[in-house]
Amino acid sequence: MFELTKQHVQSIMDAAARGCWDPFIDSIDPEVHWMIGDPAHDPVMMTGIYNLRKWQEDVNKGVFGRLLDGLQMRPTSVDVFGQKAIVEAVGTATQKNGNPYNNRYANPAGIKDEAHTR
């Protein structure tokens, strides 16, 4: 079985730091659930419990739709626990209205075994 390492997670996040999200999205186990802000679903604040599909439908489209040139997410900390990782990151972008988008994230990532072959 593939052993997840900080270096592997960092390589996935390095692409996201450049605005390329495919390795990050492709690596997430679709059965992992995570919370944004509060367990109660609020479509305006985008809080709730999400898996990959629901996050892509409910959150990702809304956030990325407001950004001019995509989001660069630079990791500040990576912790690995077996086949799961917690990535703390800073996201920066310019919104279509010209305002900056700056956010901090703590992303859980259940890494699929086959993601290591990418």
Domain ranges of the chain: 6-112
Q: Per-residue pLDDT for 110 more than 80? A: no
Q: What is the pLDDT of residues 2-23, one digit of tens each?
A: 788 999 888 888 888 888 888 8
Question: 6-112 belongs to which CATH class?
Answer: alpha beta
Q: Does the pTM exceed 0.75?
A: no
Pairwise CA distance, residues 115 & 118, whole Å = 6
The predicted model gives 73-80 an average pLDDT of 90
Q: Does the pLDDT at position 63 exceed 90? A: no
Is the sign of the CA dihedral 11, 14, 16, 18 positive or negative? negative
- Percent of the chain surpassing pLDDT 90: 19
| pLDDT given for residue 34 in this prediction | 83
